[in-house]
A and B are shown apart, each in its own frame.
Chain A
Amino acid sequence: MIELNKITLKRGDFVLNQISFNIKKGEIYLLLGDSGSGKTTILELISGFIKPDSGKIIMNDNDIVRLSPDKRNITYLPQNMSLFPHLSIVNNILYGIKMQGISLDRHYYDMLISRLEIADILEDYPEHISGGQTQRAALARAMIVKPKLLLLDEPFSALHPSLRYELEDLLKSIAQEFNLTILAVSHDIDEALHLSDVISFLHNGEIIQTAKRNEIYFRPRTAEVAKFFGIKNLFDGKITNADEDRLKIETVFGSINVRRTYREKGIQTEENIVWGIHSDEVRIIRKEHKEVRLNRISGTISRVFPRGQHWNISLLCGAAMLNITIPDFIYKRLHISKKDKINIELPEERIFIIMRPPANKQIYRKLKLG
Chain B
Amino acid sequence: MFKKLSILSILIVAALYLLLFSSLLFFLNEPTRVDGNRIAYSIFLSVSTAAVSTIFSMIVALPSAYALSRYNFFGKTIVDALLELPLVVSPLALGAIVLLFFDNPIGKWLAAHGITPIFQISGIIVAQFITIVGVAIRMIKQAFDSVPRYYENVARSLGANSFQSFRTVVIPLAKKGILASFMVCFAKSIGEFGATLMIAGSMPFKTETIPIGIFLSLSTANISRAVWLIIILILIGLTSLIASRYIIR
Contacts and interface: CB of A to CB of B under 8 A. Distances in A.
A148 B153 CA distance: 17
Interface in A20-59: 44, 47-49
Interface string A58-79: 0000000000111011111110
Q: What range describes how many residues of A lie at the interface?
A: 20 to 34
Contacts, number: 68
Contacts of A68: 156, 161-162
Contacts of A99: 155, 158-161, 164, 168
B109 interface: no
Given A84-B169, A85-B173, A76 B157 contact: yes
B158 A47 contact: no
Contact of A86 (B156, B164, B172): B172
A84 B156 CA distance: 13
Interface string A82-100: 1011100000000110011
B160 A86 contact: no
B151 A76 contact: no
Contacts of B175: 86
B158 A145 contact: yes
Interface centre among A44, A70, A72 (most CB of B within 10 A): A70
A76 B153 contact: yes
A141 B153 contact: no
Contact of B153 (A73, A78, A86, A100): A78
B93 to A, nearest CB: 41
Contacts of B148: 82
B159 A86 contact: no
A70 B153 contact: no
B149 to A, nearest CB: 9
Interface string A136-153: 000001100100000100
Interface in B119-162: 148, 150-151, 153-162
Interface of B: 148, 150-151, 153-162, 164, 168-169, 172-173, 175
25 contacts: A69-B153, A69-B156, A70-B159, A70-B164, A75-B157, A78-B153, A80-B150, A82-B151, A82-B153, A82-B154, A84-B151, A84-B154, A84-B155, A86-B173, A86-B175, A95-B155, A96-B159, A99-B155, A99-B158, A99-B159, A99-B161, A99-B164, A100-B159, A141-B158, A151-B157
Interface of A: 44, 47-49, 68-70, 72-78, 80, 82, 84-86, 95-96, 99-100, 141-142, 145, 151
